[in-house]
Amino acid sequence: MKISDQKRKIKLLVSVRSLQESLLAAKNNVDFIDIKEPKNGPLGAAPISTIAEIANHFTLKNIDVSISSAIDNNHRKVNDRVTNLRTYLRTNIDFLKIGIDGDQDSLDSFLKIYYSNSVLSLLSSEKRKFTRCLIPVFLLDKPIEIKLFRIILESKLADYFYGLMIDTKNKSHGTILDLVSYEDLKVIKKLCLKKNKYFGMAGSLDHSCISAIKDTKPNWVGFRGGLCVNGRDSTLCVEKIKEVRGALN
C-alpha cells in the first residue's frame, strides 16, 4: 500500500518507563507506546525485562497499541550485535529504534554494521513479522544534511524500515523544531513518503509545539518530558496526555 499524507491524522507516541505508565498511556488513546529508560541517554534503551513485561502483557490482554523500544547499541562485535538484535526482536514489540548521530561517519557505521549478512539473515528468517520493523533515529545536536536521508533511504537495508525518525541528542538544548527548519522537515518527510516510509519526529516537544507540529504533519510525533509531571525522569501526567491527544485530533 502506498503511503500518503492526505487527510492522515498525526499519530501520538508516548514514551513509558513501566507497565503502569504503559497502561495509563494506552487508556488515553495513544497510538504508539515507546518503552524507554530516560536515564540511559537520548533514546533511553530500557532493560529487556521491562520491555518483555510490557509487550507480553499487551499481547496477553489483546491491547491494540503498537509498541516500540530502542536497542542497546553498545556492542562492538557483529556477532554480539546480532544476538542483541535477536533478543529485542523476540520480545513481542512491533518496532525497534536504532540511534544514529546526525553525521556521515555515524551513518556509514550504521549501514556497515546492520547491512551485514548476519543481520540480514536474521531479519529474513523472521520476515513474516519483521519485514518493516526497524526505525532508524537520527539524534541531532545541529541541523542535519538532507543528503543523509537520501543515502539511508536508498540503501537496501531500507526494505526493513517502517520509517525514519529525528530526535534531539541533548534534551536541555531546545526542541527538534529549533534544530531543523520547517522547510527541511517538509523535504525530509517528502523523501520518506517517496520511498513509502513513514516519518516521525520527537525531541523535547510539549503542548506549545502543537501548532508547528500540525503545520509539518509528521506521520507520528513522540513525547516524554512534555507529558510528564516535572521533566522526563518524572511520571506521566494524564491531563497533559489528554491535552496533546485532543490537540492532535
Domain ranges in the chain are: 11-248
Whose CA is closest to 44, among 68, 20, 64? 68
Residue 62 pLDDT level (bands cut at 50, 70, 90): very high
- The Cα 221–Cα 141 span in angstroms is 18
Residue 77 pLDDT level (bands cut at 50, 70, 90): low
Helix (H, G, I), strand (E, B) or coil at 45: coil
pLDDT of residue 124: 78
Residue 223 · residue 244 · CB < 8 Å: yes
C-beta neighbour count of 165 within 10 angstroms: 30
| Greatest alpha-carbon span in the chain | 47
Whose CA is closest to 110, among 137, 89, 142? 137
Whose CA is closest to 79, among 36, 117, 39? 117
Residue 207 pLDDT level (bands cut at 50, 70, 90): very high
pLDDT of residue 131: 67
| Average confidence (pLDDT) over 108-136 | 80
Question: CATH code for 11-248?
Answer: 3.20.20.70
| Average confidence (pLDDT) over 166-180 | 93
Please state the separation of Cα 230 from the chain's center in Å: 22
The pTM assigned to this predicted structure is 0.94
| Average confidence (pLDDT) over 197-210 | 97
Please state which of the ranges 51-55, 75-79, 81-85, 119-123 shows the lowest mean pLDDT.
Answer: 75-79
In this model, does residue 1 exceed pLDDT 80? Answer: no
- The Cα 38–Cα 57 span in angstroms is 22
In this model, does residue 74 exceed pLDDT 80? Answer: no
Please state the separation of Cα 50 from the chain's center in Å: 17
pLDDT of residue 147: 97
- The Cα 232–Cα 150 span in angstroms is 32
Please state which of the ranges 70-79, 82-91, 206-215 shows the lowest mean pLDDT.
Answer: 70-79
Please state which of the ranges 126-140, 189-203, 209-223 shows the lowest mean pLDDT.
Answer: 126-140
- Record the cell numbers describing residue 222, joined without a space: 513522540
Max avg pLDDT among 72-76, 117-121, 219-223: 219-223
Residue 109 · residue 135 · CB < 8 Å: no
pLDDT of residue 198: 97
In this model, does residue 240 exceed pLDDT 80? Answer: yes
